[in-house]
Structure 1
Amino acid sequence: MADPLTFTKGHGTENDFVLVPDLDGALGLSAGRAAFLADRRAGVGGDGVIRVVPTELADEPAVREQADRARWFMDYRNADGSVAEMCGNGTRVFAAYLRREGLETGDAFTIATRTGARVVRADADGWAVDLGPWRLADPQTADRDGADALVHVGDGDPFSAISVDLGNPHTVVALPEDVDLGALDLGRAPLVRPAPPNGTNVELVRPIGPGHVAMRVHERGVGETRSCGTGACAAAVATSFWAGSLDTGSTWLVDVPGGRLTVRLLADHGVELAGPAVLVADGTVPAEVLPA
């Protein structure tokens, strides 16, 4: 009889994940198995699945090239089983798991991701991660306000939006003052035009005060989630851009339904995300119920 699959459940501001250790690289993780584990009715339940695997044993050559800097690869899958480039909240939960399991022992270390090696460090809020450089919309496709897309939420009029690349794609909307953030229907995916070739995460943002915004998000391959780390960074970058100031060192508080994240703008268009990471349960799934 095959061994059961071991997992840990964790979350960062209620953006939750199923972590699966694959310390010898023999397990692998198919799209069907990832989707099963993320299923909230038939599986364990989560916004995504993270396979914990040695970087040198990763499937992708570009990831294996990071092995000299990062011992462990965060192999991240969306809830539908599709492969994702990056997950900001996931990096913090991944870091908390590595240290709890003794796979990393310091207060700062490097992890491998599909967007490159990323440094994580223990922080007063839990963990902080340097997510690397961001990039705004192509100026040739944006209007004078930086908008390069229209976003339809429900049946109302479309909102102007700006694209922000953080290694994964985001489309950020600054809501008009007369629109209630909490009343918007994110039960179905917002329609983005022009349609991004690889899909996009959509952030709906409401300014609260200087350096402070509230946000809801519809994640590509998942649906509405309680939080999105890279989305919080995209919201801070876009709001800074609209305010006419992308000052290095500025700090933003981003309130999401699951809590609060801190975003710091770094030099050279870098951005750091900080917030909590909680490991809430450990368990096993019988082999006979797992998809092939």
Structure 2
Amino acid sequence: MNLEFAKMHGLGNDFVVFDGVRQTVDLTPERIRALADRRFGVGCDQVLVLEPSERAGVDFAYRIYNADGGEVEQCGNGARCVAAFARETGLTDRDLLRLTTLGGEIEPEILADGRVTVDMGVPRLDGAEIPLTEPGEWVRAPLAVDGEEHRITAVSVGNPHCVLEVPDAGAAPLEVLGPALEHHPLFPNRANVEFVAVEAPDRLRVRVWERGAGVTLACGTGACAAVVAARLWGRVGEEVTVVLDGGELVIQWAGRGSPVRMTGPAVTVFRGRLARWPDPRPATAEKGTGPF
């Protein structure tokens, strides 16, 4: 085996990216988990694959796998990275691309300064489309978690999000409340969870618990969901800078019925070649242990 890949990141949300157009990429959940392992594999939050598209007018199919091995609908930071990857590797010479995902079509555009803007489509607010197990819209709706009530806003940006306003995002209980909300029965496909502090009408501080990956430095769809929620709360305007642990994104949303647009960087760290698939983590090796 001689499988080429790139290691990329968008604000520290990092990826192993494969060209599935010019080579065969035979992924399994076990191989994805081994690749994503930061001690025994390459290390990443998600594994991304560009493949040929069977749809007219669409450049590529874009597939996203979380570090736990599961395939998911959408990844905004990943969308910027695969667009840059397609240009850098000669898969396309176009600035504006159309990609299909499990969550629908998106359009990344590579800007002159190297950043990428992605039209993420119209956010979905209806419970049946997110999906939720309860009908209707959930905007600052009460939800009980371990006997405590939280006000949540549910949004889909091609994937499900649960957004909460907090006074201090830095002090938010990501590792406690994040997994509890990710796995809450309201979200049959689980949820990404955003903890949002409104700092100004054009600025949000956001921290993310990402479905299937845990705490991440950034989440593009999470930034989009945070702005949609904050607009619905009446707290921000049409263009907002979202400050994540890994850096900043600019999100634009005119309001209901309009697409949400995200602009930010896409960085290639290195390119590599797999001579063989990484071995799975030994059962005796516990996460986070080691001599250093």
For normalisation by structure 1, the TM-score amounts to: 0.84
Map of 1:151-170 to 2, 5 A cutoff?
152=145, 157-170=148-161
Conserved in 2, the CA contact under 8 Å of 1:85 and 1:168? yes
| Alignment pair present for 1:203 and 2:194 | yes
TM superposition shift of 1:101: 0.8
CA distance in 2, matches of 1:288, 1:18: 13
Give the Cα separation in 2 of the matches to 1:122 and 1:28. 29
Letter paired with 1:269? S
Map Cα deviations across residues 148-170 of structure 1 (whole Å, 9 max, x no partner).
35375xx8954311100111000
The one-letter amino acid paired with 1:165 is: S
Q: Please tell me whether residue 77 in structure 1 is matched to residue 77 in structure 2.
A: no
Does residue 212 (structure 1) correspond to residue 200 (structure 2)? The answer is no
How far is 1:140 from its partner?
Answer: 5.6
**Paired residue for 2:92, among 104, 123, 134?**
104
Q: Does structure 1 retain, via aligned residues, the 8 Å contact 2:125–2:137?
A: no
- What do residues 157-195 of structure 1 show as CA deviations (whole Å, max 9, x unaligned)? 5431110011100000011x3xx3212332354323543
1:94-121 per-residue CA deviation (whole Å, 9 max, x = no partner) reads 0000000111112212122222222111
Matched with 2:287 is none
Contact kept, 8 Å, 2:198 with 2:235, in 1: the verdict is no
SS in 1 for 2:63: strand
* Cα distance change of structure 1 residues 101 and 257 upon mapping to structure 2, 3 Å threshold: same
Gapped regions of structure 1 (runs ≥ 5): 56-63
TM-score normalized by the length of structure 2? 0.84
Identical counterparts, % of pairs: 36
Which residue of structure 2 aligns with residue 59 of structure 1? none
Matched residue pairs, number?
Answer: 269
Structure 1: how far apart are the matches of 2:72 and 2:159?
A: 8
Query: For the Cα contact (< 8 Å) 1:252–1:263, is it kept in 2?
Result: yes
Q: Secondary structure of the equivalent of 2:14?
A: strand
1:30 aligns with 2:28: yes
Q: Does 1:191 align with 2:180?
A: yes
* Match of residue 289 from structure 2: none
The answer to whether the Cα contact below 8 Å between 1:50 and 1:75 also exists between their aligned partners in 2 is yes
SS in 2 for 1:190: helix
